[in-house]
Amino acid sequence: MKSIFYTRFFILLPWILIVIIVIDIDTKRLSVRNTASFYLSRLGNVQQQRQVVRTTRSSSSTTSSSSSGSNATSLPVIYAITPTYSRAVQKAELTRLANTFRQVPQFHWIVVEDSNSHTELVSRFLARSGLRYTHLNVFTPRRFKRTGMPRATEQRNLALGWLRGHRSVKDKGVVFFADDDNTYSLALFEEMRSTRRVSVWPVGLVGGRRYERPLVEEGKVVGWYTGWKADRPFAIDMAGFAVNLQVILSNPRALFKRRGAKPGMQESDFLKQITKVEDLEPKAKNCTQVLVWHTRTEKVNLGNEPKRQQDSVYIEV
Ligand code: UGA
Ligand code: MN
């Protein structure tokens, strides 16, 4: 019995070594981490990632994630809510986001399409993303699609409703509103993960300035550095705060408003339902680091798209 075991072990040994060398060439990280335990833990990670891909493939009409709320690790799950709508740059935006989010541990992407049904583009994109996700949709009524009207109100509210219906007191999580046209550093997610109630941090390239930020004194938010509508109760962009999942669940009526909503007031109107300025938790070195940018994407020039005689094949962009 023992000898069979040893024979098999020695047959397998060279193959294990080859795998280790290949992984090493791939990562170019030999000089930093070259212990056997490192390779074994990497193999573990690969298996974990595959599992995530499989869970996301089983889809239903409202959600494509079959994951339960139970955490594989003790880290709180980051629920990023992304409203999105069909336009020439949509897939490029989602690609940039997915490339970032894939590197964030314990991450759950809630993508809410501004559409009457799941589009093929987004469904296919999410299925191939390798991320744990939930795919929802709700169409913004035409009367709200005007300049000066807040965007994505219905989509964010639908995502909050999903969390309230599918998560409970036993789930540890942090909820963040991640618009599809921003740029997110990985460090941002580790900052927000420790949010106890509501946390805040600076946002770059917003409010007509290089950045906006909460002003902090002795660990408390005492005001706002902003160039735009300084009288907002919470002078902060949607990308500048995160909320503990339990705060979302214990304030079931906290929603984004349509009635009486004024431009730029969505964040304040929402935040004042769940917190006070003095209770905010400053992150990113007392709000002195920019870890997220309100980049926005240039309107794409399609001036030379042929009206007739288009390409002979359909190509998704
Ligand atoms: C600013 C804020 O950063 C947004 O969080 C806020 O929702 C928005 O103002 C507002 O006016 O309500 P801005 O760059 O002007 O952002 O807005 P967009 O990025 O165009 O829209 C915010 C999100 O809503 C994006 O994820 C976008 O894909 C989505 N959206 C936009 C829709 O789902 N439907 C639309 O018709 C427009
Ligand atoms: Mn934006």
* pLDDT at residue 102, rounded to an integer: 98
Say whether 24 counts as a known binding-site residue: no
Atom of ligand 1 nearest to the CA of 145: 36
Say whether 180 counts as a known binding-site residue: yes
Say whether 84 counts as a known binding-site residue: yes
Evaluate the CA torsion angle 262, 264, 267, 273 in order and state its sign: negative
Answer for the pair 217, 211: CB distance below 8 angstroms, yes or no.
Answer: no
> 109-134 pLDDT, tens per residue?
999 999 999 999 999 999 999 999 99
CA–CA distance, 148 with 265 (Å, rounded to integer): 11
Q: 240 C-alpha to center of ligand 1: Å?
A: 14
Helix axes 36-57, 2-27, angle to 10 degrees: 80
Q: 310 C-alpha to center of ligand 2: Å?
A: 31
DSSP H or E segment with residue 249: helix 245-250
Q: 83 C-alpha to center of ligand 2: Å?
A: 10
Average confidence (pLDDT) over 91-99: 98
pLDDT of residue 51 exceeding 50, the answer is: no
Pocket test for ligand 1, best of 114, 125, 179, 236 (most atoms within 8 A of CB): 179
Please say if 93 is a catalytic residue. Answer: no
Ligand nearest to the CA of 183: 2
Q: Is 115 exposed, middle or buried (0-12, 13-18, 19+ CB in 10 A)?
A: middle
Read off the pLDDT band of 59 (50, 70, 90).
very low
Q: Which of 93, 113, 191, 267 is catalytic?
A: 267
Atom of ligand 1 nearest to the CA of 237: 3
Q: 198 C-alpha to center of ligand 1: Å?
A: 21
> 254-311 pLDDT, tens per residue?
999 998 888 899 999 999 999 999 999 999 999 999 999 999 999 999 999 999 889 9
Q: Which range, of 12-16, 70-74, 255-259, averages the lowest pLDDT? A: 70-74
Q: In b/e form, how buried is each residue of 128-137, taking b as 16+ CB within 10 angstroms?
A: ebebbbbbbb
Of all residues in the chain, what percent carry a pLDDT higher than 90?
A: 74
pLDDT of residue 31 exceeding 70, the answer is: no
Which position has the higher pLDDT, 46 or 279?
Answer: 279
Atom of ligand 1 nearest to the CA of 90: 28
Residues lining ligand 1, judged by CB closer than 6 Å?
A: 82-85, 114, 140, 145, 150-152, 155, 179-181, 237-238, 263, 266, 294, 296
Atom of ligand 1 nearest to the CA of 296: 14
Ligand nearest to the CA of 204: 1
Average confidence (pLDDT) over 199-214: 98
Q: 51 C-alpha to center of ligand 1: Å?
A: 33
* pLDDT at residue 6, rounded to an integer: 67
| Fold (topology level) of 75-293 | Spore Coat Polysaccharide Biosynthesis Protein SpsA; Chain A (3.90.550)
CA–CA distance, 213 with 254 (Å, rounded to integer): 24
CA–CA distance, 24 with 80 (Å, rounded to integer): 32
Say whether 85 counts as a known binding-site residue: yes
CA–CA distance, 153 with 112 (Å, rounded to integer): 11
